[in-house]
């Protein structure tokens, strides 16, 4: 890897890219591979691969202990966990949900014929805007789903007050927020239930996985039944159910990842601090603000303001991709502008969300990215932004405009 000395050396002008091996957003955090392998070896010898095996039980206990909540029900992924939580909580009719989220949050509703009512987010926190929530409540509304986007907690007190006042269910999609706190309390303890994702790209992964966490004993009982076809015992089905079970190999990965979670978060914090210094003072570029000490800092989120930055977000991404930095747009173009929602619910206009989806760019972080690499990424962003006009010209030329 060689840092570019000047703008002429950028890959968009025909030079070799900075990174021969591309840098991804979302490279998994990997715990000690030998320890994971040993656990997998043991489980193979035990011949107990899934269906509430000992590793899944241990993983559930450790997650509940870390969060400080009564119940953790581990699942095969976060989407199924959302679907089961939604059904277990009895949501029907209309549910208020941000459009600015990974589309799985919305799909989990529509999949069950529940109408997602798209809500704006706060431009500062990128989470559900409670004022807008209030205006969207109708006689058909049964619940609210808040998303702790980037691990940034929703306005939990305001949302709880609204849910109480209107007797609505309050569910949180905490897919990004494992290991995050709100006022000293772990995410996982808010609303009627919260849902984590342990997908490979998350701060803690079980290859694929997820969990419903709750302090409600009855709900936990229902969710447990529902994730295992409704079985209450052999030959005894007492509830409608699906197959949401986590397998033992995933739990093995989860247990080892839990053991290293604090290290993963320390690395993320260090990376974030380095990005902050490296990108400081670039006109039109803002880093997403958070309380680092309460956050898992797992997403390195930048906003590119098209009215102040010399380059648009998308042009900056072209420059970075050419250099082997696979920066990502999130959650472009917004769920309400994706199918089936744009056809099913036409005319939804969410100016704050739409502005955000045009500005947000996520850069590589996590344990797979080194300090030297982050330094090179920051250098590239600064170089590109300092020479915005020349770069925009070159990109027009490459596009044949």
Query: According to the binding rule CB under 6 A, does residue 29 interact with ligand T4K?
Result: no
Query: According to the binding rule CB under 6 A, does residue 136 interact with ligand T4K?
Result: no
Q: Please classify residue 326 by burial: count the beta carbons closer than 10 Å to its beta carbon, then call 0-12 exposed, 13-18 middle and 19+ buried.
A: middle
Among 31, 53, 78, 244, binds ligand T4K (CB under 6 A): 78
CA 188 to chain centre: 15
- If the CB atoms of residues 173 and 315 are measured against ligand T4K, the closer one turns out to be 173
Per-residue 3-state assignment (H helix, E strand, C coil) for 295-332: CCCCCEEEEECCCCCCCCHHHHHHHHHHCCEECEECCC
Query: According to the binding rule CB under 6 A, does residue 105 interact with ligand T4K?
Result: yes
Q: Min. distance of Cβ 56 from ligand T4K in angstroms?
A: 16
Determine the 3-state secondary structure of 1 from DSSP.
Answer: coil
Query: According to the binding rule CB under 6 A, does residue 175 interact with ligand T4K?
Result: yes
Q: Min. distance of Cβ 129 from ligand T4K in angstroms?
A: 17
CA angle 319, 281, 362 (to 5 degrees): 45
Among 83, 173, 248, 256, binds ligand T4K (CB under 6 A): 173
Query: According to the binding rule CB under 6 A, does residue 152 interact with ligand T4K?
Result: no
Interatomic CA distance for residues 37 and 35, integer angstroms: 5
* Size of residue set near ligand T4K by CB under 6 A: 22
φ/ψ region of 253 (left if φ > 0, alpha if ψ in -120 to 50, else beta) reads alpha
- If the CB atoms of residues 208 and 303 are measured against ligand T4K, the closer one turns out to be 208
Peptide bond preceding 19: is omega within 30 degrees of 0, i.e. cis? no
- If the CB atoms of residues 211 and 309 are measured against ligand T4K, the closer one turns out to be 211
Q: Min. distance of Cβ 24 from ligand T4K in angstroms?
A: 4
- If the CB atoms of residues 180 and 282 are measured against ligand T4K, the closer one turns out to be 180
Interatomic CA distance for residues 122 and 393, integer angstroms: 34
Q: Which stretches of the chain bind ligand T4K, using CB under 6 A?
A: 24-28, 77-79, 101-102, 104-105, 147, 173, 175-176, 197, 199-201, 210, 326
């Amino acid at each position: 890897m060689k840092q570019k000395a000047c703008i002429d050396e950028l890959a968009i002008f025909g030079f070799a890219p900075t990174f021969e091996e591309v840098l991804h957003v979302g490279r998994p955090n990997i715990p000690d591979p030998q320890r994971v392998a040993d656990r997998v070896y043991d489980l193979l010898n035990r011949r107990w691969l899934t269906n509430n095996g000992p590793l899944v039980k241990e993983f559930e206990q450790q997650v509940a202990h870390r969060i400080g909540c009564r119940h953790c029900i581990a699942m095969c992924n976060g989407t199924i966990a959302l679907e089961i939580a939604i059904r277990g909580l009895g949501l029907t009719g209309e549910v208020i949900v941000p459009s600015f989220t990974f589309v799985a949050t919305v799909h989990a509703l529509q999949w069950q014929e529940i109408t997602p009512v798209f809500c704006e987010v706060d431009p500062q926190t990128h989470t559900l805007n409670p004022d807008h929530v209030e205006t969207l409540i109708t006689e058909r509304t049964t619940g609210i789903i808040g998303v702790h986007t980037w691990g940034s907690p929703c306005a939990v007190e305001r949302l709880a007050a609204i849910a109480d006042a209107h007797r609505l269910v309050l569910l949180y999609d905490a897919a990004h927020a494992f290991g995050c706190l709100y006022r000293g309390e772990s995410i996982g303890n808010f609303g009627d239930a919260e849902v984590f994702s342990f997908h490979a790209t998350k701060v803690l992964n079980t290859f694929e996985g997820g969990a419903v966490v709750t302090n409600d004993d009855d709900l936990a009982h229902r969710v447990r039944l529902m994730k295992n076809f409704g079985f209450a015992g052999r030959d005894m089905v007492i509830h409608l159910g699906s197959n949401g079970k986590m397998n033992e190999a995933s739990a093995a990965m989860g247990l080892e990842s839990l053991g290293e979670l604090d290290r993963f978060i320390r690395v993320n914090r260090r990376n974030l601090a380095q990005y902050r210094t490296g990108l400081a003072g670039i006109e039109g570029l803002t880093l997403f603000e958070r309380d680092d000490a309460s956050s898992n800092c797992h997403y390195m989120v930048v906003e590119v303001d098209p009215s102040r930055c010399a380059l648009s977000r998308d042009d900056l991404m072209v420059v970075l991709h050419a250099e082997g930095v696979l920066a990502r747009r999130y959650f472009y173009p917004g769920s309400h502008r994706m199918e089936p929602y744009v056809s099913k619910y036409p005319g939804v206009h969410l100016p704050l969300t739409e502005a955000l989806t045009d500005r947000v760019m996520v850069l590589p972080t996590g344990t797979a990215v080194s300090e030297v690499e982050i330094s090179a990424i920051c250098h590239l962003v600064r170089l590109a932004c300092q020479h915005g006009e020349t770069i925009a010209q070159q990109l027009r030329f490459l596009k044949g405009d």
